[in-house]
Amino acid sequence: MSFPAPKSESAAPKLRFGNFEADLENRELRKHGIRIKLQRKPFQILEFLLQRPGQLVMRTDLAQILWPGMHVSFDRSLNTAVNALRRALGDTSRNARFIETRTGLGYLFLGSVEEVGAAENRRGQAGIQLVHSTASGGTDIPQDCLKGRYFCHKMTEEDLHKCVAYFNAALAQDANCAFY
């Protein structure tokens, strides 16, 4: 069985979702820059889901990725691996933020996923001038909002204060900027 190609064909990118960053090359998951231990199988599930956000991933497809060529009952092992992944993400099946269960079928990744390298390249030479497309295709996100995002990801106390200040300024200019 063949699987759809991942969204990015670049060699093992870093993918960001929520407060998390998955480094596919080094097989690391980080939250706010802090490494979270995640075993091999749960990480493989995460990688597969992140490459197909919003798409239903069938349990049988995951079983073929995790246990290729094996013809054994995988239900319990798959459930264990998905539950380990959910624990690492602080997610639950009843109140899913990232991984929604489609009973008897598979899983759906709910969060938006961004390739970190792409975001870094949009920052420009000064490191602040982001260009970000909106749903309408324009680039009309307030610069204060973009600067807030930039400083938010630096994760130092001083930069987080700058982040809050820029977000407050952006909200004062446009109350809808939180939705960009």
Do 107 and 12 touch, CB atoms closer than 8 A? Answer: no
How far apart, in whole angstroms, are the C-alpha atoms of residue 178 and residue 25? 32
Q: Where are the alpha helices (DSSP H) in the chain?
A: 40-50, 59-66, 75-89, 116-121, 143-152, 157-173
Say how far apart CA 36 and CA 89 lie, in whole Å: 9
Question: pTM of the full predicted structure?
Answer: 0.60
Question: In whole angstroms, how far apart are CA 98 and each of 88, 123, 126?
Answer: 11, 27, 33
Terminal C-alpha separation, the chain? 38
* Domains, the chain, ordered by start: 14-109 (1.10.10.10), 122-179 (no CATH)
Q: What percent of the chain has pLDDT over 70?
A: 68
Strand 20-23 relative to strand 28-31: parallel, antiparallel, unpaired? antiparallel
d(CA 148, CA 177): 11
* pLDDT(9) > 50: no
Tokens of 65: 């990725």
Q: What is the pLDDT of residues 59-84, one digit of tens each?
A: 989 988 888 887 767 788 889 999 99
3-state secondary structure 27-76: CEEEECCEEECCCHHHHHHHHHHHCCCCCEEEHHHHHHHHCCCCCCCCHH
Q: What is the per-residue pLDDT across 87-120, written as a single tens digit (0 to 9) for each? A: 999 998 888 899 999 988 999 999 889 998 754 5
